[in-house]
Every structure is written in structure tokens, then in C-alpha cells.
Amino acid sequence: MMKFTRRVALALTAAALVSPALAADKITLRMSTPASDTDQRSVALEEIFAPAVADFATYEPHYNGSLIKQGAELESIASGDLEMSIASAQELAQFFPEFSIFATGYVHQDAEHQVRVFNDPLMDPFKEKAEAELGVKLLTVMYLGRRHVNLRQTKEELTVNTPDDLAGINLRMPGTDAWQFLGKALGANPTPMAFTEVYTALQTGSVDGQDNPLPTVVDAKFYEVTNQIALTSHLVDLNYVALSKAAWDALTPEQQATMQEAADAAAASAREKQLQKEADLVAFLESEGLEIYEPNLEAFREHVQAQYVGSEFAKSWPEGVLAEINALGN
């Protein structure tokens, strides 16, 4: 984990690089993500966000982790080497462990719940800390989808009904502590790996499986190298559109309002499309030969939640916030 003092120093350096005097000039927003250009979040930012801010900002997306490797984006924003990313709560938890509450299995219930939580005052101290100590402004929340367990094994070889069935299964999870904890909480043997390496790892059998929402399984073509999906819905996953606070501060209030609106509109559009894809893609994946089924969800929910109770992560959650999140649910 990065040291507090270094974080502050990096944020201050970045702030000094972009002065408000530049507000009349166009700023460049370098955005880095491990996602592809056809991912719905990428598409919405390019088609909705970019044109809306084009008068005062040039949006410059970099896909497939080609500019900054997955997981290093926030540090790059803090040091002034990047202006934007599609950040996960798990990545923020690397700096501020309390963000793990938004990365915990079976906490968010659906896409609308994510939006209510993000816009609720309960989020303010989280947002303020990321701004003040990392120089990162969380602009809006994007819906990635329901993460499920996607394996190379056929259902005949391995039927996943409860977490016990995942014992010994090498499940690729993204490479931060919060992700690895979730993989273990599912009952699997989590293996950290960057998103861009997952297809080959599945193809060669160096991992048994991975977890992602159906639209990602299709977009990244994981269905070509796997045989089943157990619909565990263990995480209703989100990302934040993360922006350099220094870049934000260089804008006029009018430009800031335009940018905020643009980010919210892009997120809303991507959310609708992603939800539609989740509903539609089961048939496509089945036609590709994958077996898709629901395991014992109660068994998964109980097991996952039990792992978090009393964990180091749970100890970092501010008092009462879990209850507030739950109260915003259905």
C-alpha cells in the first residue's frame, strides 16, 4: 500500500502542474483503462462524454491497459501522468481500506442501488478523502454488472452448487487485496492476474476460471475458452469515473457543470446498455455451447458474508455505513 505522505506529495505536485489560469485553454484528458474500446463504458465515454466536453477538453482514451497497467491508474493520476480512469472500489481500497465496503460481495443489490449509494451523503467522506489525499475526483458511478463464476470445466466435470464445490479451483481475480479476499470468500483459490492476460491464461489452462459479468465474458471473448458459467451474482460491480482533481480545478464552474452532466449522461447510457446486454447474452452464450445455471445462491451469500464479518476489511468500514447502504436497497 502506498504511504500517506507520498500520496499527499503526489497530489500536491499534480495540483501545481495545472493552474486555474489555464482555464481558457483546452485541457487534455488522457484516460487509461484495461477495458476494450467496445466495452459499453468505453463506448459511452467516447460517444457521450467526449463530445459534450469538446469545447474545453480533448478526450484521449487508451484501451486494453496500453498506457497504464491495470491497477496503477490512480497512482498515475495522483502523480500527474494521467487525467482519467475507470476506477474500481477495490483499487481505491488500496489507498483507503474503507472503500472495500463497496467491493464487498452481496452488498450492492442492483444498478439503481449503486447510483443511490453514490449520490447519498454517506459517500461524501469517501469522495472528500480521495480528493484531498490522492488528488482524485470521483465524478460518477458506472455499472459493470453482476459478476459470475466462469470456468473451463464443463458442468459434467464440475457442478458448482455451493462454495465447497470451488475448493482448489484456481480462479483468476484482479490483483488487489480486496479482489483476492472476495475470491477466497467464494471458496476458491484466487490467482491475481491483469485483465489483459486472462484470455491466454484460460486458453492454456494456467487458471481454471475467472469472474466477470456476462457482457465482459462476451466482449473479451472468454466464452471461446471456457465451458460454463455459474450465476453466483457475487458482486454487483461498479466503477467510478475518476478524474484528476488538478484538471477539475483548472476548469471554470460552467465547464465543471458541463463535465459533471456529461459524465452522468455517459454513465446512465452505459448502464442501460449493460443491463440490456446482461439480459440478452444468456441466449448467445448458450448458443456458443456454454452451460449457464444458478447455483445455491443462499449458500454463496451466507458463506461470502460470513467471511467479511470480523475481517480486517470490515474493521476499516466507518461505523453505521453498511446499515446506511442496506437502507438504500430494496
Q: Residues interacting with ligand KDO, by CB under 6 A? A: 33-35, 39, 86, 88, 144, 174, 195, 212, 216, 239
Single-letter code of the amino acid located at 219: D
How near is the Cβ of 111 to ligand KDO at its closest, in Å?
15
Which residue reads 473479451 in cell numbers? 220
Q: With respect to ligand KDO, which residue has the nearer C-beta, 84 or 86?
A: 86
DSSP run (H or E) holding 215:
helix 214-219
> Which parts of the chain are beta strand (E)?
27-32, 57-62, 84-87, 136-151, 170-173, 189-192, 209-212, 228-244, 291-293
∠ CA 242-233-31, rounded to 5°: 20
How near is the Cβ of 241 to ligand KDO at its closest, in Å?
12
Q: With respect to ligand KDO, which residue has the nearer C-beta, 179 or 248?
A: 179
How near is the Cβ of 219 to ligand KDO at its closest, in Å?
7
Contact 194, 210 (CB under 8 A): no
Cα dihedral: 241, 219, 171, 93 (round 10):
0
Q: With respect to ligand KDO, which residue has the nearer C-beta, 80 or 213?
A: 213
Cα dihedral: 129, 134, 138, 139 (round 10):
120
Contact 222, 209 (CB under 8 A): no
How near is the Cβ of 14 to ligand KDO at its closest, in Å?
22
How near is the Cβ of 327 to ligand KDO at its closest, in Å?
26
How near is the Cβ of 302 to ligand KDO at its closest, in Å?
24
Q: With respect to ligand KDO, which residue has the nearer C-beta, 93 or 259?
A: 93
Joined grid coordinates for residue 85: 480512469
Q: With respect to ligand KDO, which residue has the nearer C-beta, 35 or 275?
A: 35
Please give, one letter per residue, the 3-state secondary structure of 100-128: HHHHCCCCCCCHHHHHHHHHCHHHHHHHH
Q: With respect to ligand KDO, which residue has the nearer C-beta, 213 or 295?
A: 213
